[in-house]
Amino acid sequence: MLVQGYAAGATTYELGDRFGIDRRTVSAILHQYNVPMRRRGLSPSQVDEAIHLYRLGWSLARVGEHLAVDPTTVLNRLQEHGIRTRDTHGRARS
């Protein structure tokens, strides 16, 4: 059912929610069944949206959840665009 859902276009996040498991577990199961993974990433307009939301004070986790990507993906795109990030207490990182 999980493999068929992914093949039908569901994301690992959607499948994780549907089955009550973490998206990394979904990925592990898909790899176990040799299912080719789609690379999601962020489109240029989504990067713009991520920058906007982050500047409004949203956390990396919240932006990632909103855009259905890992917070590390958001962090990487922000850094590529020269956006200074905050620590978990909202202070600018050095």
Q: Which pLDDT belongs to residue 32?
A: 96
Domain that holds residue 25: 1-33
Residue 31: pLDDT band with limits 50, 70, 90 = very high
Residue 92 lies inside a defined structural domain of this protein? no
Q: Which pLDDT belongs to residue 13?
A: 82
Residue 89 lies inside a defined structural domain of this protein? no
Residue 94: pLDDT band with limits 50, 70, 90 = low
Q: How many domains does the chain have?
A: 2
| 49 and 76 co-located in one domain | yes
Q: What integer best gives the mean pLDDT of the chain?
A: 91
Residue 94 lies inside a defined structural domain of this protein? no
Q: At what angle do helices 60-67 and 71-80 cross, to 10 degrees?
A: 110
| 25 and 5 co-located in one domain | yes
Residue 68 lies inside a defined structural domain of this protein? yes
Residue 48: pLDDT band with limits 50, 70, 90 = very high
Rounded to an integer, what distance in angstroms lies between the CA atom of residue 31 and that of residue 60? 27
